[in-house]
């Protein structure tokens, strides 16, 4: 799924953002009911997946430098 970040809002405050975090949503979850609503949220497991994916990417990138 393509998407955008809210980074432009943070940039106005001088906060650097770096794009997105990959997420693996559980089967059957209606993501669109959770996204961009007054109670926007994601499952913790989806965030854990993204953190681990980015960590592995950085570990591999750092090995050659």
Contacts of 26 (CB under 8 A, 6+ apart): 43, 45, 46
Supply the pLDDT for residue 2. Answer: 58
Q: In angstroms, rounded to a whole number, what is the distance separating the alpha carbons of residues 49 and 60?
A: 17
Supply the pLDDT for residue 55. Answer: 94
Q: Which parts of the chain have pLDDT scores under 50? A: none
Supply the pLDDT for residue 65. Answer: 60
Q: In angstroms, rounded to a whole number, what is the distance separating the alpha carbons of residues 36 and 53?
A: 24
3-state SS track over the chain = CCCCCCHHHHHCCCCCCCCCCCCCCCCCCCHHHHCCCCCCCCCHHHHHHHHHHHHHHHHHHHHCC
């Amino acid at each position: 799924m393509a998407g955008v970040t809210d980074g432009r809002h943070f940039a106005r405050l001088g906060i650097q953002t770096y794009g997105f975090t990959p997420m693996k949503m559980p089967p059957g979850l209606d993501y669109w009911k959770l996204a961009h609503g007054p109670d926007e949220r994601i499952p913790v497991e989806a965030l854990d997946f993204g953190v681990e994916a980015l960590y592995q990417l950085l570990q591999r990138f750092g090995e050659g430098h």
